A = this chain, B = another copy of it.
Amino acid sequence: MFKRAKQSRVFQDVVEQIQDAILSKKLAPGTRLPAERDLKEMFNTSRGTLREALRVLEQKGLIEIKLGVTGGAIVKRIDTDPIMESLALLIRSGEVSLGHLSEFRIKIESSLVELATERASSDDIQEMERLLAKARQCFDNQDWETFLQTDEAMHTFIGTMTRNPVFQFVQKSIHENIHRYYRDYLPMNHERTLENLNDFEKIIAAMKAKDGAAASAIIADHVRRFHEKMTGKNP
């Protein structure tokens, strides 16, 4: 029913105070906290304990610590990096497999493309075309590493087009982690590259026509082919 009341850990109290100040916008991103030697006085603690608190805040992605005379703890804008780092740990530990990830991707990515199509501005579509053109160039140059990067960028950008940060971070997490395997397990080849290019061309066309259902169907098929190859190779 109840949890223990007080952890008897001073550094936790310091973490909570600074975290609350950041979350309540009392400390804006970019703000520099006082120097360790000053903070330790404010919190009436030792420097070691204060530093443990700063370490935790840094790991949470709330502050960034810089060296040198103008250095110190700077309040960061909260982003999805810590989530992605934790997800990467789950994957590295084997708790989550590539099969799990790509199964999830089949379900989520068609919904995501549909939403992106509804909300796409003409600028968004231009950006997609720019990325596709870049991917084509990589194909011509046989620069598969940059091709993979551009492929990831296209998927991530579709996430951005949803205007919903939840979709954005899910999409970014999934693709960042899938591409890690991708590079390791799948030697790039021309067929796959062409498949990808053709798929994206069709998706952009559907987006221009505001045909969410069509865009959704194309990406579903695109992802399913990928899933089958991956699970076929890594059962």
Residue ranges of A at the interface with B (Cβ–Cβ < 8 Å): 11, 22-23, 48, 51-52, 55-56, 59-62, 78-80, 82-83, 85-87, 89-90, 92-93, 95-96, 100-101, 103-104, 107-108, 111-112, 115, 164-167, 169-170
Q: How far is the CB of A226 from chain B (nearest CB, A)?
A: 16
In the bound complex, do residue A165 and residue B95 qualify as a contact, i.e. CB atoms below 8 Å apart? yes
Within 8 Å CB of A92, what residues of B? 23
Q: How far is the CB of A129 from chain B (nearest CB, A)?
A: 26
Q: How far is the CB of A98 from chain B (nearest CB, A)?
A: 11
In the bound complex, do residue B166 and residue A104 qualify as a contact, i.e. CB atoms below 8 Å apart? yes
Q: How far is the CB of A125 from chain B (nearest CB, A)?
A: 22
* Closest chain B residue to A166, Cβ basis: B104
Known: A103-B164, A165-B95. Contact between A60 and B61, CB under 8 A? no
Within 8 Å CB of A104, what residues of B? 164, 166-167, 170
* Closest chain B residue to A83, Cβ basis: B86
Contact of A165 among B52, B96, B165, B169 (CB under 8 A): B96
Known: A52-B51, A55-B56, A112-B107. Contact between A62 and B78, CB under 8 A? no
In the bound complex, do residue B78 and residue A93 qualify as a contact, i.e. CB atoms below 8 Å apart? yes
Known: A55-B52, A83-B83, A170-B170. Contact between A95 and B115, CB under 8 A? no
In the bound complex, do residue A165 and residue B90 qualify as a contact, i.e. CB atoms below 8 Å apart? yes
Contact of A115 among B89, B107, B170 (CB under 8 A): B107
In the bound complex, do residue B80 and residue A90 qualify as a contact, i.e. CB atoms below 8 Å apart? yes
Given contacts A23-B89, A104-B170, 7 further A-B contacts (CB under 8 A): A55-B59, A59-B60, A80-B90, A83-B87, A83-B90, A95-B165, A111-B111
Most-contacted residue by chain B among A61, A90, A115 (CB, 10 A): A90
In the bound complex, do residue B62 and residue A89 qualify as a contact, i.e. CB atoms below 8 Å apart? yes
Q: How far is the CB of A218 from chain B (nearest CB, A)?
A: 17
Known: A52-B52, A78-B93, A165-B95. Contact between A86 and B60, CB under 8 A? yes
In the bound complex, do residue B95 and residue A86 qualify as a contact, i.e. CB atoms below 8 Å apart? no
* Assembled-state Cα–Cα distance A112/B108 (Å): 10
Listed by A's residue number, 16 A-B pairs whose Cβ atoms lie within 8 Å are A11-B55, A52-B55, A55-B59, A59-B59, A60-B86, A62-B89, A78-B90, A79-B95, A83-B83, A83-B90, A95-B165, A100-B164, A101-B166, A104-B170, A107-B108, A107-B112
